[in-house]
Copies of this chain bind each other. A is one copy, B any other.
């Protein structure tokens, strides 16, 4: 089964906005078993829309389009589709009622323009929009469906999951696909692929495909199996994951949507304990990664961004002798930062980082990228030297994720 994605909007074609809808939809559609053949972006012009819809419908079993459904005159998708598929604009009462609720909740008056959003072509099957004013529309021509959704990512995603996905599952016979993502850290891609050479053969023999998804927050390994029976595929993947654990177990920190910050938070919560962070080169980024997650105040007590030596001395109690004899970017200073953090925040666990993010700050023997990362409990501590690269942004990210990974390993071993 072939699918295409069509994103409509002038803002895409002048580069004002990065199209994130397409990758999200492509991911969901491939998970459902479709082969995506084209992702196309065009402007808000009736002619461009009609041409693209006709072309893509001629090549695909389903086309998902997003955008161009706003209430103003520069949004051309609805009138164009109405003309293309026939029928006339009719009031869709359930959509009107949702629009009324939306405006009522926001305390805003409902204008005629907004009411008109509930008019949809009689030739379509509507998709309810619980978070915005534009209903979705599903059209059919021959054996191909066109699904038109609004371009606002939050609305589009909810409508796809709640309305379009069930429609697809009902109207298409698709292969069973099971996917599982294994999230790893601390092993570079080339080493990982060397280590997994035999495993890749194992997967190939069982018809499982493997994709490497690298980023500064780790390499995710995506396993996919396609066949008839979901349960059989799930067992196949479970066996494969066990195999993988035997090979790179210590580098696996989670599965699917788990991230290093969420894995660390979960572990702290399981242990019913708390963490504080002392950061130098990461400048608050570790604290940000943890506090981004809802409920972080249960497990995170706070942090110090100790950018100057004075703060390392005055707040964390790092001695002037250590700072002078070893420099701020050194093992003894990070050890003292850990002690200070545990004392000041009265917590069970601490992270401390001191490094040179660049582009300036390098000294003899300490190039840009030199980073000491320490983790500690009230009983013991562990400090290691890492050497990252030349790019400030990436160094900050790598140092932060490495610190979280070090803490996770540390908590699992003690």
Contacts and interface: CB of A to CB of B under 8 A. Distances in A.
B291 A283 contact: yes
Interface in A272-319: 277, 279, 282-288, 290-292, 294-297, 300-308, 310-311, 314-315
A347 to B, nearest CB: 9
Contacts of A284: 279, 284-288, 291, 303, 305
Contacts of A17: 23
Contact of A39 (B12, B279, B359): B12
Given A288-B284, A302-B311, A360-B295, A36 B23 contact: no
A18 interface: yes
A25 interface: yes
Interface in A26-53: 26-30, 36-43, 48
A183 to B, nearest CB: 15
Contacts of A72: none
A79 B282 CA distance: 44
A264 interface: no
Given A283-B296, A284-B284, A311-B302, A22 B41 contact: yes
Interface size class of A (residues with CB under 8 A): 35 or more
A282 B296 CA distance: 12
Nearest to A12: B39
A346 interface: yes
Contact of A307 (B302, B305, B311, B344): B302
Contact of A303 (B15, B42, B295, B305): B305
Contact of A26 (B14, B302, B305, B306): B14
A174 interface: no
Interface of A: 11-20, 22-30, 36-43, 48, 211, 213, 222, 277, 279, 282-288, 290-292, 294-297, 300-308, 310-311, 314-315, 344-346, 358-361, 392-393, 396
Given A15-B36, A297-B361, A303-B303, 15 more contacts: A12-B26, A12-B39, A13-B26, A13-B30, A13-B36, A15-B26, A16-B213, A18-B23, A19-B19, A291-B305, A291-B396, A294-B360, A301-B308, A302-B308, A304-B304
12 contacts: A12-B26, A14-B211, A15-B24, A15-B25, A16-B27, A18-B20, A282-B291, A283-B300, A284-B291, A284-B305, A285-B288, A303-B304
